[in-house]
Each structure stands twice: as C-alpha cells, then as structure tokens.
Chain A
Amino acid sequence: EAGVAQSPRYKIIEKRQSVAFWCNPISGHATLYWYQQILGQGPKLLIQFQNNGVVDDSQLPKDRFSAERLKGVDSTLKIQPAKLEDSAVYLCASSFLPRDQPQHFGDGTRLSIL
C-alpha cells in the first residue's frame, strides 16, 4: 500500500513570498490532516478535511494560510505571505475514518524562511 505522498521535500523562500505544498493521502482515506511541526515541538493541527469539507481549521492562521481539497483526494496548503515564524516542517496525514483511526504521516515538507 502506497503511503501518504508529499511534495516538495524541502523549500527555501524569503519572507513575504508565497509557497504551496501538495499532499496525496493513502488511497481510500477520507480524512486528511495538515500539521505544522516547529523544531523541538510536537505537531500542531492546522486543518482537517473529511472528504472535501473542512472539519477543523481553528488553529489555521487564516490571514496567511489557506488549504483546499477540491475533489476529496489530494490537497494543497498555501502560505501567502510567509513570515519567519512559519519555518517548520509541514506534515500531511490521512486516516480511513476520523474517529479512533490511526493517522499515517507523509515525509513532510521542510520550509525555511530567510
């Protein structure tokens, strides 16, 4: 079974620029999550999709971050404009169902803001 695919693996941009990340979940997984992991901390949920609907985006900085999952499969997360504090690893995870189902993570995108 193919795992969660993410791209790019690394991205370096200057502050105030924009960046986008892509995620393709495990086949058949209806629930998709985007997490932000700052160095030395545990991952923090940014947004959760169930199919193509948003379940939780309470911790998404909506003035600069946006995410979509138009066809209920793959998803993109965008940051515009980026701030220095956005330097982190952005992890995508998926699960078959949202409740009680283990989440499986992709390799993540390491973002550095200069």
Chain B
Amino acid sequence: QKEVEQNSGPLSVPEGAIASLNCTYSDRGSQSFFWYRQYSGKSPELIMFIYSNGDKEDGRFTAQLNKASQYVSLLIRDSQPSDSATYLCAVTGSSNTGKLIFGQGTTLQVKP
C-alpha cells in the first residue's frame, strides 16, 4: 500500500464546474496536509494546507480533512482552464520531522 494515494486521472471537468480531488494516506499519525499545484515543466506551488479535521476555505479552494478516515480532499469551485494542472497531495509523517510524503498527483483538465 502506498503511503499517500491519489487517482492519477485525468479528471476532466467543464469550465465553471466543481472539481473534486481526493487523497488517502496510510500513516494514522500524520499531522499536516498540503495541496500543491504543478503545471507541466514547473515546480510545485503551494495552494492550501490544513491541520485540523473539517473544512478550510481560501477563495475558490476548499480543503477537507477527515483524520478518522485518513482522507483529505481539495475542491475547486468555478473551475477555470487555468486550473488545468497536476495536483499533488502531501502529508507529513508521524516522525514529526516535517518530511513531506507526496502522492503521485492527479491531473486535472478543465475544458472551456
């Protein structure tokens, strides 16, 4: 079992729709959860981070965390073609060193 799992996609949504990206993790002691966006040929760019159970909203983005189910998700409202990218879920392990464990990423395509 991979430590952090994401569906590689591609996930295709029409412009203006809600995109839902999901991630599960295996280490129950994980403390911090991050979503990065990576455009092709570019480096990862931080979008959201969440530490507590529940929802956290920032503009069109909402991160959701359920530690009991070991599940974290990212919702993108009013999706735009510029949101087309690979979204990486990253989790800090229970070792508490700050080390990030990444999933393989989900490719999102937003079609005009």
Contacts and interface: CB of A to CB of B under 8 A. Distances in A.
Interface of A: 31, 33, 40-45, 48, 55-56, 89, 91, 95, 97-108
Contacts of B43: 89, 91, 105-108
Interface residues of B, number: 26
A55 B104 CA distance: 24
B44 A91 contact: yes
A56 B99 contact: yes
Contact of B45 (A48, A89, A99, A105): A105
Contacts, number: 65
A108 B45 CA distance: 12
Given A42-B90, A91-B44, A48 B104 contact: no
A48 B98 contact: yes
Nearest to B8: A40
B96 interface: yes
Contact of A48 (B36, B90, B97): B97
Given A42-B4, A100-B32, A55 B46 contact: no
Contact of A45 (B88, B100, B104, B105): B100
Contacts of B46: 102-104
A2 to B, nearest CB: 15
B102 A43 contact: yes
